[in-house]
């Protein structure tokens, strides 16, 4: 395992914030998930990209059950494949099963005959031919191009958070930066984010550190999420280690 899951969550949240600050809605969503053991959000006017960003903490928490995070907004039926593809890509990253150069091909196999795979096919061919972001952008459907471009931007620079962010900003804008950043941050962990960036946004990191630790400890089964507003015993976190590693508890 390259990175502890908590590091991936931290990297994803932080890198997403470089594009759009969703802190308030994330906090509301996490509190709802903690107290109601569910997170039913009603989407009526949001774009497909906005829905994914609003749902990011849920995507992270249910990384081993991506079907729990897939939403079906009625007003965005034509964007459902893009939404599902992003959710599955995030799950592959967090479960360390991503093969970047095969992502779109693997997604086609995952969804089978449920969808028209034209966009996935376009992206796979573009990836094999090494097309630029601008070339790919011109071929994408207007309804959800931000999601597809973010996925393509990520897989073509998967190991470099800075490059992913800069390219997304140049060719896509804030929403694409947030979507691509969330994927890249999850893939590379918080350690993949440059120290100067972490220092510049240290207050954001500090704000989310406790909440993400509570999410992680809950995900591991050693903490009651509903108590996240109370002081947390750090020994719960110390008890969690990488596979086949003995972690001392104090």
Give the pLDDT confidence of 137-195 residue by residue, as tens digits: 999 988 889 999 999 999 999 999 999 999 999 998 899 999 999 999 999 999 999 98
Domain 5-211 has CATH 3.40.50.1780: no
Spell out the SS3 assignment of 154-184. Answer: HHCCCCCHHHHHHHHHHHCCHHHHHHHHHHH
Residue 46 contacts residue 40 (beta carbons within 8 Å): no
DSSP state of 101: G
Rounded distance, CA 81 to CA 61, Å?
Answer: 21
List of the chain residues with pLDDT < 50: 1, 226, 249-250
Segments making up each domain of the chain, as ranges: 5-211
CA angle, 188 as apex, 139 and 37 as ends, to 5°?
Answer: 90
Check residue 192 and report its DSSP letter. G
Residue closest to 116 by CA, chosen among 155, 143, 153, 136: 143
| Token code pair at residue 187 | 């893939």
Dmax over CA atoms of the chain, in Å, equals 56
Predicted local confidence at residue 213, as pLDDT? 81
Cα(243)–Cα(112) distance, integer angstroms: 33
**Whole-model pTM over 0.85:** no
pLDDT attached to residue 90: 96
Residue from 86, 77, 231, 212 nearest 153 by CA: 86
Per-residue pLDDT, 166: 95
Separation between Cα atoms, residue 21 and residue 33, nearest integer Å: 20
């Amino acid at each position: 395992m390259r990175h502890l899951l908590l590091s991936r969550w931290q990297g994803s949240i932080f890198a997403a914030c470089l594009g759009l600050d969703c802190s308030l809605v994330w906090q509301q969503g996490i509190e709802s998930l903690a107290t109601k053991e569910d997170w039913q959000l009603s989407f009526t006017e949001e774009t497909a990209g906005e829905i994914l960003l609003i749902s990011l903490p849920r995507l992270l928490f249910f990384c081993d059950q991506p079907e729990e995070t897939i939403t079906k907004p009625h007003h965005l039926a034509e964007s459902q494949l893009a939404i599902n593809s992003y959710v599955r890509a995030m799950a592959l990253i967090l479960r360390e099963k991503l093969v970047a150069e095969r992502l779109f091909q693997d997604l086609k196999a995952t969804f089978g005959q449920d969808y028209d795979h034209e966009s996935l096919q376009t992206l796979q061919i573009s990836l094999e031919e090494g097309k630029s972001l601008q070339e790919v952008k011109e071929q994408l459907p207007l309804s959800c191009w931000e999601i597809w471009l973010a996925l393509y931007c990520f897989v073509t620079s998967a190991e470099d958070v800075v490059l992913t962010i800069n390219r997304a900003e140049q060719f896509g804008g804030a929403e694409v930066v947030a979507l691509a950043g969330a994927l890249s941050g999850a893939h590379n962990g918080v350690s993949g984010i440059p120290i100067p960036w972490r220092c510049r946004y240290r207050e954001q990191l500090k704000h989310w550190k406790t909440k993400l630790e509570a999410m992680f400890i809950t995900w591991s089964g050693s903490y009651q999420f509903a108590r996240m507003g109370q002081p947390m015993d750090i020994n719960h976190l110390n008890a969690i280690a990488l596979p086949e590693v003995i972690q001392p508890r104090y």
